[in-house]
Amino acid sequence: MTIIYEILKESWQIYLDVAVYMLFGFFVAGILYVFFKPDKIKQYLGTGKIRPVILSALFGIPIPLCSCGVVPVAAGLKKQGANNGAALSFMIATPESGVDSIAVSWAMLDPIMTVMRPVSAFITAIATGIAQNYFGMDEIPGKTPPLKDKGG
């Protein structure tokens, strides 16, 4: 019984550690929602298969979000009209190239690896986003899309 208690206790501690980053991610998602209108997000990140992926990867590089905090922001971008590849590209580029991860790379690795890490994250994000846009599914199988209100 004590092993179950220890697992629950450690799980709760991990949850508490991650909660701050999740809240920061929700905060950034809210800022994006307020300052970037859905029609602009849809214009730049919603149409096309390659350009939105590159733009979202470039947009995600300077934002200091961890892998926990990037999820609500990417969901917000998706909700505002970004296509699947752009949202996926943002989710990959942002945590790998944030200021905090670069600082950790500098401390633990050499300067060459510190430069190569964000470059490889950018290339990986673009490749994955483009692959998603060309080969991925737009809809979840078995799920019907929501009905559009015709206003009548």
Q: What's the chain look like in SS3?
A: CHHHHHHHHHHHHHHHHHHHHHHHHHHHHHHHHHHCCHHHHHHHHCCCCCHHHHHHHHHHCCCCCCCCCHHHHHHHHHHCCCCHHHHHHHHHHHHHCCHHHHHHHHHHCCHHHHHHHHHHHHHHHHHHHHHHHHHCCCCCCCCCCCCCCCCC
In the chain, % of residues over pLDDT 70: 86
- 12-16, 86-90, 146-150: lowest mean pLDDT where? 146-150
Q: Could you state, in order of their start, the residue ranges of all structural domains in the chain?
A: 37-135
pLDDT value at position 105? 75
- The whole-model pTM stands at 0.68
Question: pLDDT tens digit string along 32-41?
Answer: 777 777 677 7
**Contact between residue 76 and residue 32 where contact means Cβ atoms under 8 Å apart:** yes
Confidence band, pLDDT 50/70/90 cuts, at residue 141: low
pLDDT of 25 strictly over 80: no
Confidence band, pLDDT 50/70/90 cuts, at residue 24: confident
pLDDT value at position 149? 54
